[in-house]
Chain A
């Protein structure tokens, strides 16, 4: 079954405790989250035989909660992509839209839930990598507030932006998994206390009484017509349930994609320096010059990864740092301010998760810039460190459509409550 969609890089069962909130639940884990003794490839040839000597904190938490891990899910190489086509282990197909991509980079995780190969899944979201595949595969995905979930054991791509997040068939089940993985961890100094005694699952009440939903016009105007129709239908339904919907404007959002890519690529160029053929990967040989041997071993990276390492190196290099990286940090602060101001008058913000239906397989590989621009609605959330959820909102000809709700920092309860009303 799973072979048809190429959902897993490694199918292996890891049993958890016999008792716990997730006893008898199966979970697919994205292949950039470390599992002790089970290979963790990040979708890369560089790590095709890498076996972590320890579990990520979230994996320990899954085991303690009684979950059974059923496999390591396919992904864009090191999380760099929006289609799961940059994986060195071949693309994953979308179970909810034949011939289409499942989104990415957590495409295997979303496909596992959509195909019923796992009850739940973990992905990671650096610029939309949980919400994008959730939308494309017709499942629920949550990107937690930065610092809510430990990143210990997550192979880093862009540390200041990424969070591990849950995928599930329903909002309540995604919230239940978030309860298991949230909370402080002494092994990740960026974690905070807020998620310690969480009960997000009970926030999935579907109650919209007194709720004001803001719609950033900038995130709707560019969307495909069919996607907009599904989005407007969902808003009508929420109005009928008692919500107030009003337009808001986030002028900084216009620069979010370029700010996101400059920051993510810059961080990636530094993070991926550890893959050198000495500590990880295949040796570049022992003769001649260290730098040449290092470069040879890194030919194992796929093209998208090379592209991002090079652009990040360029953006940080002497003479260009102020022009790209410093400006991107200013844009990031501006985006945060815009969101803060919006949350003074609304409870959550809503937009289509993705401005388009799932891409056809192979469609977007030749034009990286076009692929980056499709992340317009998801990346602002990572720049602002905020929580967001994607909930299925019907289908168009090309496949499923997702509606995204963004909340204030540590406002997971709010987005879960509003998101669950879409399911009413």
Chain B
């Protein structure tokens, strides 16, 4: 295990950042697995700095009104709606 691999508290912290609920068993398992996986990822340190020549161009289109989903279609997969809007939990 590397010195820098996250302990259970850090796994919980990352889960909070990612908004993913974990139970205690998952925290324990992930702590072990992340140590192995991140150890392996650390071999990226050996990669030399590389000239990245991205040959990219922007793809633009005219900003014109066109047909889109109806409000009803857009809301069809929401678990709760109210007055034609998505319904979410309190923001506080």
Q: Are A282 and B79 in contact (CB under 8 A)?
A: yes
Q: Are A279 and B20 in contact (CB under 8 A)?
A: no
Show 12 A/B contacts (Cβ-Cβ < 8 Å), sorted by A.
A255-B43, A269-B18, A278-B80, A278-B87, A284-B89, A287-B89, A323-B42, A330-B48, A333-B51, A333-B52, A333-B53, A368-B33
**Complex interface: chain A residues within 8 A of B76 (CB):** 51, 53
Q: Are A330 and B33 in contact (CB under 8 A)?
A: no
Q: Are B50 and A330 in contact (CB under 8 A)?
A: yes
Contact A258:B43 (CB < 8 A) given known A279-B78, A295-B19: yes
In the complex, chain B residues 42-92 whose Cβ is within 8 Å of any chain A Cβ: 42-53, 59, 61, 69, 73-74, 76-80, 86-92
Once bound together, how far apart are the Cα atoms of A124 and B30, in whole Å?
27
Q: Are A280 and B49 in contact (CB under 8 A)?
A: no
**Complex interface: chain A residues within 8 A of B42 (CB):** 323
| The 5 A-B residue pairs with the shortest CB-CB distance in the complex, in nearest-first order | A293-B89, A327-B44, A189-B59, A299-B21, A295-B21
In the complex, chain A residues 301-338 whose Cβ is within 8 Å of any chain B Cβ: 301, 303, 306-307, 309-311, 313-315, 317, 323-324, 327-331, 333-334, 337
Q: Are A301 and B20 in contact (CB under 8 A)?
A: yes
Q: Of residues A278, A285, A329, which shows the largest number of chain B Cβ atoms within 10 Å of its Cβ?
A: A278
In the complex, chain A residues 158-198 whose Cβ is within 8 Å of any chain B Cβ: 186, 189-190
Once bound together, how far apart are the Cα atoms of A171 and B91, in whole Å?
54
Q: Which of A283, A306, A315, A334 contacts B80 (CB 8 A)?
A: A283
Q: What 4 additional pairs, Cβ within 8 angstroms, besides A293-B88, A295-B21, A327-B47?
A: A255-B43, A277-B79, A278-B78, A369-B33
**Complex interface: chain A residues within 8 A of B1 (CB):** none
A296 near B: Cβ within 8 Å? yes
Once bound together, how far apart are the Cα atoms of A273 and B18, in whole Å?
8
Hey, which bits of chain A sit against chain B, CB under 8 A? 49-51, 53-54, 186, 189-190, 252, 255, 258-259, 261-262, 269, 273, 276-291, 293-296, 298-299, 301, 303, 306-307, 309-311, 313-315, 317, 323-324, 327-331, 333-334, 337, 368-369, 372
Contact A278:B86 (CB < 8 A) given known A258-B41, A303-B26, A327-B45: yes
* Closest Cβ–Cβ distance, residue B23 to chain A (whole Å): 8
Q: Are A289 and B20 in contact (CB under 8 A)?
A: no
Number of A-B contacts (CB under 8 A): 152
Q: Are B17 and A317 in contact (CB under 8 A)?
A: yes
**Complex interface: chain B residues within 8 A of A314 (CB):** 6, 14, 34, 38
Q: Are A330 and B87 in contact (CB under 8 A)?
A: no
Once bound together, how far apart are the Cα atoms of A282 and B21, in whole Å?
14
One digit per residue, 1 when the CB lies within 8 angstroms of any chain A CB and 0 when it does not, for chain B 3-26 equals 000100001001111111110001
Once bound together, how far apart are the Cα atoms of A313 and B15, in whole Å?
8
Q: Are A283 and B79 in contact (CB under 8 A)?
A: yes
Q: Are A309 and B18 in contact (CB under 8 A)?
A: yes
B36 near A: Cβ within 8 Å? yes
* Closest Cβ–Cβ distance, residue B37 to chain A (whole Å): 5
* Closest Cβ–Cβ distance, residue A41 to chain B (whole Å): 12
Q: Which of A186, A286, A310, A324 contacts B18 (CB 8 A)?
A: A310
Once bound together, how far apart are the Cα atoms of A17 and B90, in whole Å?
48
**Complex interface: chain A residues within 8 A of B17 (CB):** 313, 317
**Complex interface: chain A residues within 8 A of B34 (CB):** 310-311, 314
Q: Are B89 and A285 in contact (CB under 8 A)?
A: yes
Once bound together, how far apart are the Cα atoms of A283 and B19, in whole Å?
14
Once bound together, how far apart are the Cα atoms of A203 and B91, in whole Å?
58
**Complex interface: chain B residues within 8 A of A53 (CB):** 69, 73-74, 76-77
Q: Which of A261, A278, A282, A295 contacts B20 (CB 8 A)?
A: A295
**Complex interface: chain B residues within 8 A of A368 (CB):** 33, 37
